[in-house]
Amino acid sequence: MSTWNGVPYVSQKVMDKRTRTAQRRRESLSRERIIEASIEILDSDGEVGLTFRALSDRLTTGPGAIYWHIDNKSELLTAACDAIIACTVDVPVVGMPPEAVIRALALSLFDTIDAHPWIGSALTRSPGQMPVVRILERIGQQIRALHVADEEEWPAVCALLNYIVGVGRQNAANAQFTRARDLDRSAFLGSVARTWSQLDRKDYPFTIDSADRLQLHDDRADFLAGINLFLRGLRLSA
C-alpha cells in the first residue's frame, strides 16, 4: 500500500471495505491504528522504544501485518510526526498581526516538540515532505502578509523554518541525552555547567562565563528571543 505523505491515503472504496470487514480482527488493523499506537509508544518510551516488535505486541499481531499497511519505519515516523504537526499548526489566526501569529506558531511548535521530543528528529528526516510543508506554508503566509521585499521573502521563510526546527531538534536531543542518563533537566544542565567551568579560561572565556547562565536559562524564552531577533531584522529591511 503506497501513499503520498499526508494526503488522504485510502480511497473511499477501500475505506468502505475495511469498515465492513471489521470482524476479521476484533479491531481491524489499519494505518490509523498503527500510527496511533506508534505515537503512544514514542511518547512513553522515546524513539528507541518504537520497534516493530513492541509495535506488533501492542497491536497483538506480527510484523508482517504491519508491513502490509506501512512501507517502512521511516515512513511510519514521518506519518506519526505529521499527525501531530497537523494539529499543532492549527493555531488561531483571527485578526492577529502577522508577527504575533508567527510568534504564536513558533511557540506552539516549540511546546509540541518539547512534549513529543521524537518529533524533532522526524521533522529533519523527511525534507520537503508533508510535516515540514505544513509549517512552511503557515510561516510563508505570514511573511507574505508582512510585505517583505520580494527577494527577501524566501530566505526569510527558510531561515525561520530552519531556526524553529533546529531549536526543536536540539531540545529533543537534550531531552534524549538526559533521559538516556536517567537525569532530570537540572541535573543535566548541572553536569554540563560543571564541565564547562573546568575548561581553560585562556581558550574558553565565554563558555566559562556562560556556565552559570546555562543553569538559569529558560529554553522557551531563549527560543522566543531568537524569533524576535529575526522579526526585528525583517522589520528593519521592510
Residues engaged in binding DNA (CB under 7 A): 1, 14, 17-18, 20-21, 23-25, 28-29, 50-54, 56, 59-65, 67-69, 72-74
Which residue lies nearer to a copy of itself by CB, 22 or 187?
187
Closer to a copy of itself by CB, 9 or 163: give it. Answer: 163
With 0-12 / 13-18 / 19 or more C-beta atoms within 10 angstroms meaning exposed / middle / buried, residue 186 is exposed
Report the partner that residue 186 touches, choosing among DNA, a copy of itself, none (CB closer than 5 to 8 A by kind): none
Considering beta carbons, is residue 54 or 161 the nearer one to a copy of itself?
Answer: 161
Please list every residue from 104 through 163 that binds a copy of itself, using CB under 8 A. 124-128, 133, 136-137, 140-141, 144, 152, 154-159, 162-163
Q: Which of DNA, a copy of itself, none does residue 231 bind to, with CB < 5 to 8 Å depending on kind?
A: a copy of itself
229 near a copy of itself, rule: CB under 8 A: yes
Q: Which is nearer to a copy of itself, 104 or 224 (CB)?
A: 224
List C-alpha distances in Å: 212 to 58, 194, 196.
44, 9, 10
177 contributes a contact to a copy of itself by CB under 8 A: yes
Find the shortest distance in angstroms from Cβ 33 to DNA: 9
Q: Which stretches of the chain bind a copy of itself, using CB under 8 A?
A: 4, 124-128, 133, 136-137, 140-141, 144, 152, 154-159, 162-163, 165-167, 169-170, 173-174, 177, 192, 195-196, 199, 203-207, 210, 213, 217, 221-222, 225-226, 228-237
